Amino acid sequence: MLEGIPQTKKTILSAVKPSGMLTIGNYLGALKNFVRLKDEGKCFFCVADLHTITVDIEPAKLRKNSFDLYSLFLALGLEGEDSTVFVQSHVAEHSQLAWVLNCFCGFGEAQRMTQFKDLAKKHGAKGQNVGLFAYPILMAADILIYNTDIVPVGDDQKQHVEIARTIAQRFNSKYSPTFTMPEPVITKVGARIKSLSDPTAKMGKSNEDLSGVVMIADEKDVIMKKFARAVTDSETEVRFDQKNKPGISNLLTIYSGFSGLSIKQAEEQFKNSSYKEFKENVGELVCEKLKPIQENMDAYSSDKELLQRKMQEGAEKARVVARKTLSKVYRKVGF
Ligand code: TYM
């Protein structure tokens, strides 16, 4: 039985934005958990392309990213009889429910979202579109439309799952029980992987400095180079101490996430190693673990026809559930 997951078959949903190549932060914080949970419940894994246009992105790039992300989901084995992989914009009910939910979220509540505040600051007045503001409400629709019990996400999305709960509660108490209350499931190790070049900042696919961002699709020599250059500190000891040794702690977290060893066991393994040896070992392990995923992904992404067929099937499967919830909601609000 999985830690934190109750006995009965639950509905599990998560999504990833196709805003760029995915990083090992996405892998350790979210995707690894998707794979772990896939056979534990009724799953929905979504390519969140609607969310992606809240910041400027070239159409051709978005389309390619969506295909690549879909390939990655398939490469990870996320598709199955009870596990649906689909693209968000292919299931129009998400947007339709989001409109209703917009009317159940306070202005101030949306304004308090940390990610909105960070992005609004980063993109300036020109980039502060209403979509960016309403982002968590669309995310609430993604979650609530499948009567989701469990949402596996990295630490940065926890606040968004919480607002989905607030909205669900508000709707349920105004009408009658309609939405299931979702719970975030956050991995213990790897919920917040940091950049290798700036271990105080998140490793993100949209970081400006990509030298510290390891992509799932990066080639071995690129990965090894990024680890070799990872920022450490002026000491020599491989020890976990997030405050004083953020670089080494991040590398230990990555090693632990990929090896399955605890941080303590990883510390023990490298207690006599130099930083150089340690970084090489982390790089080697990451390459070894990513290799089969990369190979599988290439096989899928080179077959566009197969991908398109699978996308269509996935959307049809997802729509069956989404439509039911949406019509219930429409009836309740008086449409
Ligand atoms: P996104 O695309 O930014 O990230 C996808 C998942 O990866 C996690 N993650 C990380 N975990 C650990 N360390 C990191 N450095 C790191 N970077 C990213 C994120 O927490 C996330 O779980 N809003 C979501 C997409 C979304 C969604 C949803 C998620 C849309 N609808 C419904 C869950 C449920 C996002 O932008 O994720």
For residue 205, which atom of ligand 1 is closest to its CA? Answer: 17
Q: Where are the alpha helices (DSSP H) in 216-270?
A: 220-228, 246-259, 263-269
Q: Which of 26, 33, 88 for mutating ligand 1's site (highest number of atoms within 8 Å of CB)? A: 26
What would the two tokens of residue 9 be? 């078959």
Tokens 């390619």 locate to 64
- pLDDT bin (cut points 50, 70, 90) of residue 9 is confident
What would the two tokens of residue 149 be? 């019990």
Ligand 1 near 156 CB (within 6 A): yes
% of the chain with per-residue pLDDT over 90: 90
pTM of the model: 0.94
**Residue whose CA is at the smallest distance from ligand 1 atom 19:** 154
pLDDT, tens only, 190-249? 889 999 999 999 999 888 889 999 999 999 999 999 999 999 999 999 999 999 999 999
pLDDT of res. 33: 94
Ligand 1 near 192 CB (within 6 A): yes
Q: Which of 138, 157, 202 for mutating ligand 1's site (highest number of atoms within 8 Å of CB)? A: 157
pLDDT of res. 1: 43
Q: How many CA atoms lie within 13 A of 121 on its CB side?
A: 7
d(CA 289, CA 163): 35
Ligand 1 near 14 CB (within 6 A): yes
Ligand 1 near 26 CB (within 6 A): yes
**Residue whose CA is at the smallest distance from ligand 1 atom 26:** 15
Nearest to residue 26, comparing CAs of 112, 140, 153? 153
Cross-sheet strand order for the sheet of 83-87? 83-87, 41-47, 10-16, 150-152, 183-185
User: Rounded mean pLDDT of 309-315?
Assistant: 98
Does 128 score more than 90 pLDDT? no
**Residue whose CA is at the smallest distance from ligand 1 atom 16:** 25
d(CA 158, CA 182): 11
**Residue whose CA is at the smallest distance from ligand 1 atom 33:** 14
- pLDDT bin (cut points 50, 70, 90) of residue 158 is very high
**Residue whose CA is at the smallest distance from ligand 1 atom 18:** 26
In sequence order, the 6+-apart residues with CB closer than 8 A to the CB of 91 are 315, 318, 319, 322
Ligand 1 mean position to 124 CA, how many Å?
22
For residue 190, which atom of ligand 1 is closest to its CA? Answer: 12
Would you name the residues annotated as active-site residues?
121, 202, 205
pLDDT of res. 207: 85
